[in-house]
Structure 1
């Protein structure tokens, strides 16, 4: 089993585990060894899954504004955790390939392996939920047909993305692509960089 096959299996395990209770407050019960790649992938997808459902909840038209703000704050925190997890995955790849000497004309990819895997994780959620919509008994035949067509596109996208990730990892391993890391510098979460936050601190 190659890495993308393993990742897909883990993502689907996480999605299915979440939907046992289908509750954004459910406790994550990661079955893998702490800080292993499998553990990071599972936890990454759990964050994506919780965030997916919070995004559904916050779009309720009659939601209480105070509750909506709480959810928005929670989504922001999850976004930061998601970014941190992606960086952990990239660091794992960086350590894995650190002894590879890139070719003199090695390319630099615009997207790191982990950010491609981030998209792969989100795709597992899209496919899971589109599959449900494609077979919903209480929906119209037209709805199910449209969702079935969308599901086929998502499945094709899954195949293409899987191939792209495998090719990127192979190219890094063979020295054709140079592995570089750039930490995500999210300024709005940093009290020293977000002017709304640091001006408030200065007024205290």
Structure 2
């Protein structure tokens, strides 16, 4: 393989194209375009969609004039979308590691992937998938801040402050994109590598969450 499997510009363009859609993130159309192989773009868009759904639920969970039941529903949705977001991030890492030749393909999704890392390569503390995830969140932040610059119900000072923050967010997003490109290039050249770091969200697992374990034990005792 002589070409990188992904560039930050691909990610930025895909994220922005989704956010420009009026039906995003309700529609699941981008999640079915990749076909049965469910490739890298599929999982990047999946991660982005779940981040957007998570963002929306986080806004709703801050409401102060709704019932406790509605807030509880928001919290459960947040947990569900956060788990799905992390699962998609891990899948991005697995596919990139395979594409870069850093892992035996058949072992990529196991708990003991077989490494193909070149001797002397440095381990990057952040994975490429987590960078893609952060780029998604920064795209959401930039959109939200841009909307603040366009408000007509606030004064000029608010819009100016929001514009300054937007400029900083866009600079940070560009910096992160360059870091992703450098990690992928260094990984392809054998100078660097990353791993899939499983998140192990214990609170979502009824076998590991102590409160859910106690609930289950109580039901069995009753």
TM-score, with length taken from structure 1: 0.91
Aligned residues: 200
1:193 corresponding residue in structure 2: 208
1:33 corresponding residue in structure 2: 34
- Indicate conservation of the 8 Å contact 2:125/2:194, yes or no: no
2:94 corresponding residue in structure 1: 91
Residues 135-150 of structure 1 correspond to what in structure 2 (within 5 A)? 135-150=150-165
Per the TM alignment, residue 21 of structure 1 is displaced from its structure 2 partner at its CA by 4.7
The alignment's C-alpha RMSD in Å is 1.9
Identify which of 14, 21, 35 aligns with 2:18: 14
TM-score, with length taken from structure 2: 0.84
- Indicate conservation of the 8 Å contact 2:149/2:162, yes or no: yes
- Indicate conservation of the 8 Å contact 2:121/2:193, yes or no: yes
- Indicate conservation of the 8 Å contact 1:90/1:112, yes or no: yes
- Indicate conservation of the 8 Å contact 2:8/2:180, yes or no: yes
2:85 corresponding residue in structure 1: 82
Identify which of 43, 46, 53 aligns with 1:43: 46
1:5 corresponding residue in structure 2: 9
- Once the two structures are overlaid, the 10-residue window that deviates more, 105-114 or 175-184, is 175-184
Identify which of 107, 110, 134 aligns with 2:122: 107
1:164-203 deviation digits (Å, cap 9, x = unpaired) = 0001111111111123223221111111111111122122
Q: Which runs of 5+ in 2 are unaligned?
A: 104-115
2:177 corresponding residue in structure 1: 162
Q: Distance in 2 between matches of 1:194 and 1:99?
A: 34
Check if 1:125 corresponds to 2:129.
no
Please identify runs of 4+ aligned residues in structure 1 that moved more than 6 A: none
